[in-house]
């Protein structure tokens, strides 16, 4: 089976970590006429460390929402939650469709994964946090119509405003990527960093995801109150 080459050295697991959450792409290689059922593995992308080996679909969905190729699984229906706990089954995993469909699935593995498949995986972890190649909201290339993205220079943050309540999959992407709702300013906000800018540029393509100028390290908001925008409106 074909595998991609590693894009980074396999890191040591943090002392608190007991498992890793991995996204895997696979291609359907089944032959119905001969009753042959199999898939060919493509990319393996490690999304997160985990403090527990227990199967937890909420945790899998949160990890899936932080990677562009799997963010659709963050808000997928219950039928995406697979529990193949039979002999030769895959176990607990998230995937749209049945086991042998072409596509991506997200699953948790024990730390044995580091030795067995670590060198064949793409690592996007930094100090134990989920750090994808580029965070993306589950929307098309044209972004979301009418969205406004603005930089709050005083707070060192980015704000996103929608003309109406966002679609469920967009809300799931916001929450999974650390955005918070401010009733005071009627916007979604988070710290202005590369991850936030990449997410915002996916919603509003005209918004640049270039690194911002140096910000005051103390500028992070502690709550919704006082979070007010210095508008640099962007037409989506």
Instruction: Tell whether the model's pLDDT for residue 203 goes beyond 50.
Output: yes
Give the Cα separation of 12 and 127 in Å (integer): 10
What's the whole-number average pLDDT of the chain? 75
Distance of alpha carbon 40 from alpha carbon 54, whole angstroms: 27
pLDDT exceeds cutoff 70 at 233: no
- What pLDDT, on a 0 to 100 scale, did the predictor assign at position 208? 60
Instruction: Kindly state the helix (H) or strand (E) to which residue 115 belongs, with its residue range.
Output: helix 112-116
- Whether 215 has a pLDDT exceeding 60, the answer reads no
**pLDDT tens, position by position, 109-158:** 999 998 888 888 887 644 334 433 333 444 444 456 788 899 998 889 99
Per-residue pLDDT at 71 exceeds 80: yes
Model confidence at 234, pLDDT cuts 50, 70, 90, reads very low
**Residue 28: pLDDT above 50?**
yes
Report residue 88 as tokens: 């030769």
Task: Answer with the residue of higher pLDDT: 62 or 130.
Answer: 62
Of the given ranges (75-79, 93-97, 134-138), which has the lowest mean pLDDT? 134-138
How high is the pLDDT of residue 143?
53
Name the DSSP class of 20.
E
Nearest of 170, 171, 180 to residue 227 by alpha carbon: 180
Residue 160: the pLDDT is: 92
Which residue has better confidence, 123 or 8?
A: 123
The residue that leads in pLDDT, 34 or 48, is 48
Length of the chain: 236
The pLDDT value given to residue 21: 92
Q: Is the pLDDT of residue 199 over 70?
A: yes
- Spans of all domains in the chain: 19-123, 134-223
What is the mean predicted confidence (pLDDT) over 160-178?
83
What's the average model confidence in pLDDT over 77-104? 87
Q: How many CB atoms lie within 10 A of CB 13?
A: 17
Q: How high is the pLDDT of residue 142?
A: 46
Of 96, 103, 68, the C-alpha closest to 82 is 96
pTM of the entire structure? Answer: 0.52
Q: What is the mean pLDDT of residues 15-19?
A: 89
C-alpha torsion 39→43→49→55, nearest 10? -20
Task: Provide the pLDDT confidence category of residue 209 given band limits of 50, 70 and 90.
Answer: low
Percentage of the chain with pLDDT > 90? 15
């Amino acid at each position: 089976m074909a595998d991609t080459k590693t894009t980074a050295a396999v890191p040591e697991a943090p002392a608190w970590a007991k498992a890793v959450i991995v996204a895997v792409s696979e291609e359907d290689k089944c032959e119905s006429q001969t009753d042959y059922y199999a898939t060919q593995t493509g990319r393996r992308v490690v999304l997160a460390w985990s403090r527990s080996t227990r199967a937890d679909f909420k945790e899998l969905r949160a990890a899936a929402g932080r990677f562009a190729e799997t963010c659709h699984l963050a808000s997928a229906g219950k039928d995406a939650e697979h529990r193949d706990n039979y002999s030769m089954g895959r176990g607990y995993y998230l995937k749209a469709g049945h086991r042998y469909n072409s596509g991506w699935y997200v699953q948790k593995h024990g730390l044995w994964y580091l030795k067995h498949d670590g060198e064949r995986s793409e690592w996007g972890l930094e100090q134990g946090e989920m750090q994808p190649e580029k965070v993306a909201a589950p929307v098309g290339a044209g972004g979301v119509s009418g969205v406004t993205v603005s930089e709050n220079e005083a707070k060192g943050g980015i704000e996103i405003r929608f003309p109406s309540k966002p679609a469920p999959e967009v809300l799931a992407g916001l929450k999974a990527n650390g955005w918070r709702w401010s009733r005071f300013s009627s916007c979604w906000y988070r710290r202005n960093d590369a991850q936030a800018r990449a997410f915002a540029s996916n919603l509003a393509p005209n918004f640049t995801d270039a690194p911002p100028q140096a910000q005051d390290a103390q500028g992070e908001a502690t709550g919704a109150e006082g979070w007010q925008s210095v508008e640099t409106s962007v037409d989506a």
